[in-house]
Amino acid sequence: MAISTPEGYRALDDRSVAGYLAGVPALRERLGGEPAAWQVREVGDGNLNLVFIVEGPAGDLCVKQALPYVRLVGEGWPLDLRRAWFEHRAASIQSRHAAGLLPELLHFDERLFLIAMECCRPHIIMRRGMIDGVVYPRFAAHIVEYLATTLFHTSDMALPAAEKRELVATFSGNIELCKITEDLVFTDPYMVRDRNRWTSPQLDDVAAEIRGDAELKRAVSRLKIKFLSKTEALLHGDLHTGSIMVTADDSKVIDPEFAVMGPMGFDVGKLLGNLLLCHFSQRGHERTPAERDPYRRWILATVEEVWIGFARRFVELWTAHPTGDGYPAPLFDGAAGRASLRQAQAEYMTRLFGEALGFAGAAMIRRTLGLAHNIDMERIVDADRRADCERRNLRLARELVVEARSFADIAAVTARAAEIDTA
Amino acid sequence: MAISTPEGYRALDDRSVAGYLAGVPALRERLGGEPAAWQVREVGDGNLNLVFIVEGPAGDLCVKQALPYVRLVGEGWPLDLRRAWFEHRAASIQSRHAAGLLPELLHFDERLFLIAMECCRPHIIMRRGMIDGVVYPRFAAHIVEYLATTLFHTSDMALPAAEKRELVATFSGNIELCKITEDLVFTDPYMVRDRNRWTSPQLDDVAAEIRGDAELKRAVSRLKIKFLSKTEALLHGDLHTGSIMVTADDSKVIDPEFAVMGPMGFDVGKLLGNLLLCHFSQRGHERTPAERDPYRRWILATVEEVWIGFARRFVELWTAHPTGDGYPAPLFDGAAGRASLRQAQAEYMTRLFGEALGFAGAAMIRRTLGLAHNIDMERIVDADRRADCERRNLRLARELVVEARSFADIAAVTARAAEIDTA
């Protein structure tokens, strides 16, 4: 291997996984029977890691191992193995707060940078289901609970400053993964870079327009500064429909390897942006015009439910557990104090709403003009059709980044999305 | 000693200091001659530490050692010895950027939590000079350079994210000192606490009014959240006129033991707030009415020069050294890019100005109603006279915290200060 790795590290493969797992008693027991009989499949379809599904007579599990480079690119882009440690640490913390909404963690190997966890079955990656037009009626409720609990309980409203500063110190080490976000989300799409790509030549004009859009570049740079210098809560860091596994009844959030103490609006906004992008992709998946209208309505209703539900649940947690050093409880006691706190909460959520919209727009732009694209759009084979969807997506995205404050509420956002989609 | 301390730690005293210094060759050489002949004086007049001035035939130096408790209070308030490490680390970083504006560092002992540094002579603590009405004509220029260089060069505009996140990780460990700020500046003055004190009974009414002021408590809590969750730059963390040593020609900033990656407005605002508080104390130091009018004018002119000079110098550094990951240079190239960056800089400084005013007001309130007071006011023996000064100080302070945005520029602040002072 060209890239040097810490002593004891080796990348597993289909053949060596069983031998490794056989050496971990709890995992061996979970799988049952003889290791030689275990079925192993490498299923990683993400951009970074190895992922194995292992099935034994008694049970199954999922093994995720970090490679010392970006899988999507190869050894030419080395990447810190310790992202597995940050993922495990973040998932451990989040699991305490959002019980049942992440896969159960079974094992962590700090030499192999390997996590063994529950296999989410029969779940599928939500984005794949959405391309097929599948409705997930309980998704909004689940993700609201995940977002509100993981963000609130790691924020200054819940934590004493000493605990919060320890989290900040720990996750400030996740430098290389954050750098990917900083470059790919907030910088690359706005300049000429070899690794950018878009539907060409159809979008050449709008890509150039965005590279020359001074107001947009200032606005996205303000968002980048927030990402670099706000440590509001422990973020998942890459929360989109490709990081969520679903069934009709269940949702599991996976892959928090980009975890960092950052601005809450980043997690909320990235998710909203990916839902909105998916909404704009529907036109490309229709066999007949308006075929996907009900699904469009479901997506936009979900966008509304996610924000409204999150804001309500976050404030509910804040009111019930004002245990942090931010907005200290003794300053808000009594009837007048409670009324004042409600006002403070409303102001807080208004500010957070604007930031979330900005981050949503940034996510929609980078998935259209940057390195990593979404299959929501990529699966649209006809380039002209795809470009038409992407152009509408970019139009809302710019408004969200530049004019976030002009949207009075989330209904104004979904109304504008529908308007742009049907124009 | 009732408080347990790390192995190897012992508090030095007048007698043991020379023996210790004799064992450090560079310091022994600096002092010269025989240790028995060295003159040692303990001069610590701060709230936390031991400070010795040591003079030998060849030279002198200053020794600052952390005690395992708050000196002002005693062993009942234990305090992390590692603050000396954070102070030394911060001073080392700041000295690289603001050469000549901090005492030269000579030695750090990680077992004794002791710093040896240049003795600033014939400098005096600026606050003492200001009580005597001494004008420091070069002070504004010096402190502008200190603030602009130390804040800019540790910000996202100067640093790659990797270096910035390392600073954040390191200084997030300075938990106990930050907790003092969080409690004493942003919380205590707004609630009933035994350790609060004020000129009583004269200010009993206004102290109660502030404890019941819902709008003020929301505003100061928003500032506290910024202090807890913004990591814009490496702060001194306690920059007031008691942390600056001056002569007519020179200024040295001392005591950065509260250093943390925090909101830049905190350093700038704390200094402005302490200058404004000093302005309101002048009435108490006059032997005849209007005697201190010229000095009032100098203080307010200094307030203006500090903000205007800081804002100008910070932007100048940003334009000359856009080496950080925030506002990435490639997004702001060419003539249009430069014009856009100027607009971004103006917006950035406007936001920072509002935050600085808020932090200024918070500093003015905590020094009047909290645990630690300033001798600017304390030296006014007549309690009625002192209370009159303090009441005016609180009046502007509340406006700065609650209505920061209503001040269009720093001249509006100084005009209002003069208006309240003469009302």
Same-domain check for residues A184 and A86: no
- Is the CB of residue A337 less than 8 Å from the CB of residue A322? no
Q: Rg of the Cα trace of chain A?
A: 22
Give B345-385 as a 3 state SS string: HHHHHHHHHHHHHHHHHHHHHHHHHCCCCCHHHHCCCCHHH
Chain B residues within 8 A of A225 when measuring between CB atoms: 156, 326-327
Q: Where are the alpha helices (DSSP H) in B201-292?
A: 204-211, 214-229, 264-285
- Minimal C-alpha gap between B284 and chain A (Å): 32
User: How many CB atoms are located within 10 Å of the residue B33 CB?
Assistant: 11
pLDDT of residue B70: 87
| Residue B283 in domain | yes
- Minimal C-alpha gap between A169 and chain B (Å): 4
* Candidates B218, B264, B347, B402, partner chain A, best to mutate (most A CBs within 10 A): B218
pLDDT tens for each residue of B254-267: 999 999 999 999 99
Asked if A187's CB is within 8 angstroms of B331's CB, the reply is yes
Chain B residues within 8 A of A212 when measuring between CB atoms: 336
pLDDT tens for each residue of B337-351: 999 999 999 999 999
**What is d(CA B88, CA B259) in angstroms, rounded to the nearest whole number?**
10
pLDDT of residue B175: 98
| Residue B5 in domain | no
User: How many CB atoms are located within 10 Å of the residue B304 CB?
Assistant: 17
Same-domain check for residues B246 and B374: yes
Same-domain check for residues A27 and A113: yes
From B337, which residue of chain A is nearest by alpha-carbon distance? A214
- Is the CB of residue A61 less than 8 Å from the CB of residue A118? yes
* CATH number of the domain that residue B128 is part of: 3.90.1200.10
* Candidates A193, A209, A218, partner chain B, best to mutate (most B CBs within 10 A): A218
Cβ-Cβ contacts under 8 Å for A392 (sequence gap 6 or more): A280, A283, A420, A421, A423
| Residue B285 in domain | yes
**What is d(CA B140, CA B310) in angstroms, rounded to the nearest whole number?**
9
**What is d(CA A285, CA A236) in angstroms, rounded to the nearest whole number?**
30
pLDDT of residue A401: 98
DSSP A97: H
Chain A residues within 8 A of B343 when measuring between CB atoms: 214, 218
- Is the CB of residue A60 less than 8 Å from the CB of residue A20? no
| Residue B281 in domain | yes
Same-domain check for residues B274 and B202: yes
Chain A residues within 8 A of B182 when measuring between CB atoms: 161, 325
Asked if A173's CB is within 8 angstroms of B172's CB, the reply is no
Chain A residues within 8 A of B221 when measuring between CB atoms: 326-328, 331, 344
Asked if A230's CB is within 8 angstroms of B231's CB, the reply is yes
Question: Could you say which of A98, A117, A136 is where a domain stops?
Answer: A117
DSSP A230: B
Helix, strand, or coil here: A67? coil
Chain B residues within 8 A of A170 when measuring between CB atoms: 169
Residue in this structure with the two tokens 């730690």, named with its chain if needed? B9
pLDDT tens for each residue of B47-58: 789 999 999 999
Cβ-Cβ contacts under 8 Å for A245 (sequence gap 6 or more): A103, A120, A123, A124, A125, A126, A251, A252, A254
What is the span of the domain harbouring residue B265?
124-422
Same-domain check for residues B367 and B297: yes
Q: Tokens at residue B194, please?
A: 């035994």
Asked if B172's CB is within 8 angstroms of A168's CB, the reply is yes
Asked if B228's CB is within 8 angstroms of A229's CB, the reply is no
- Is the CB of residue B94 less than 8 Å from the CB of residue B77? no
Question: Could you say which of A117, A135, A152 is where a domain stops?
Answer: A117
pLDDT tens for each residue of A66-101: 999 988 788 888 999 999 999 999 999 999 999 999
Same-domain check for residues A283 and A414: yes
**What is d(CA A62, CA B60) in angstroms, rounded to the nearest whole number?**
66
Chain A residues within 8 A of B332 when measuring between CB atoms: 217
| Residue B10 in domain | no
From B338, which residue of chain A is nearest by alpha-carbon distance? A214
From B180, which residue of chain A is nearest by alpha-carbon distance? A161
**What is d(CA A103, CA A251) in angstroms, rounded to the nearest whole number?**
10
Query: Which of A169, A173, A178 faces B161 most closely, judged by CB atoms?
Result: A178
Asked if A325's CB is within 8 angstroms of B224's CB, the reply is yes
φ/ψ bin of A219: left (φ > 0), alpha (ψ from -120 to 50), beta (otherwise): alpha
Asked if A190's CB is within 8 angstroms of B331's CB, the reply is yes
Asked if B169's CB is within 8 angstroms of A225's CB, the reply is no
Closest CA to A278 of A148, A141, A383, A373: A373
CA-to-CA dists, residue A61 to A17, A21, A30, A107, B97, angstroms: 12, 10, 8, 10, 53
pLDDT of residue A3: 80
From A231, which residue of chain B is nearest by alpha-carbon distance? B229
The total domain count for chain A is 2
Q: What is the mean pLDDT of residues B213-235?
A: 98
Q: DSSP letter string over A163-204?
A: HHHHHHHHHTT-HHHHHHHHHHHHTGGGS--TT---STTTTH
pLDDT-derived band at B2 (thresholds 50, 70, 90) equals low
- Is the CB of residue B259 less than 8 Å from the CB of residue B87? yes
Cβ-Cβ contacts under 8 Å for B132 (sequence gap 6 or more): none
pLDDT of residue B46: 67
Asked if A175's CB is within 8 angstroms of B325's CB, the reply is no
Which residues of chain A, if any, have pLDDT below 50?
1
Same-domain check for residues B65 and B129: no
**What is d(CA B147, CA B153) in angstroms, rounded to the nearest whole number?**
10
Same-domain check for residues A112 and A157: no
| Residue B3 in domain | no
Angle between helices A293-320 and A264-285 (to 10 degrees): 170
A:B CB pairs within 8 Å: 138
Residue in this structure with the two tokens 């019941």, named with its chain if needed? B212
- Minimal C-alpha gap between A66 and chain B (Å): 20
Q: Where are the alpha helices (DSSP H) in A286-403?
A: 293-320, 334-369, 375-378, 383-402
Asked if B182's CB is within 8 angstroms of A165's CB, the reply is no
φ/ψ bin of A33: left (φ > 0), alpha (ψ from -120 to 50), beta (otherwise): left
* CATH number of the domain that residue A35 is part of: 3.30.200.20
Chain B residues within 8 A of A173 when measuring between CB atoms: 165, 169
**What is d(CA A253, CA A238) in angstroms, rounded to the nearest whole number?**
10
Question: What's the longest Cα–Cα distance across chain A?
Answer: 68
**What is d(CA A295, CA A136) in angstroms, rounded to the nearest whole number?**
11
Same-domain check for residues A254 and A111: no
| Residue B352 in domain | yes
Around A211, how many Cα atoms within 13 Å sit in the side-chain half-sphere? 17
pTM over 0.95: yes
Asked if B164's CB is within 8 angstroms of A191's CB, the reply is no
Asked if A168's CB is within 8 angstroms of B231's CB, the reply is yes
Q: What is the mean pLDDT of residues B135-153?
A: 98
Question: Could you say which of B67, B91, B117 is where a domain stops?
Answer: B117
From B225, which residue of chain A is nearest by alpha-carbon distance? A326
Asked if A168's CB is within 8 angstroms of B224's CB, the reply is no
| Residue B8 in domain | no
Asked if A231's CB is within 8 angstroms of B229's CB, the reply is yes
Which helix (H) or strand (E) segment holds residue B386: the answer is helix B383-402
Asked if A228's CB is within 8 angstroms of B230's CB, the reply is no
pLDDT-derived band at B73 (thresholds 50, 70, 90) equals confident
User: How many CB atoms are located within 10 Å of the residue B81 CB?
Assistant: 22
Residue A113's Cα: distance from chain center in Å?
21
Same-domain check for residues A157 and A305: yes
**What is d(CA A89, CA A256) in angstroms, rounded to the nearest whole number?**
9
Same-domain check for residues A91 and A204: no
**What is d(CA B180, CA B171) in angstroms, rounded to the nearest whole number?**
15
Same-domain check for residues A82 and A166: no
* Candidates A177, A228, A341, partner chain B, best to mutate (most B CBs within 10 A): A228
From B163, which residue of chain A is nearest by alpha-carbon distance? A175
Complex-level ipTM: 0.96
pLDDT of residue A44: 80
**What is d(CA A180, CA A173) in angstroms, rounded to the nearest whole number?**
14
Asked if A218's CB is within 8 angstroms of B340's CB, the reply is yes
- Minimal C-alpha gap between A220 and chain B (Å): 9
Cβ-Cβ contacts under 8 Å for A244 (sequence gap 6 or more): A125, A126, A139, A143, A251, A252, A253, A254
pLDDT tens for each residue of A217-263: 999 999 999 999 999 999 999 999 999 999 999 999 999 999 999 99
Asked if B229's CB is within 8 angstroms of A330's CB, the reply is no
**What is d(CA B423, CA B417) in angstroms, rounded to the nearest whole number?**
10
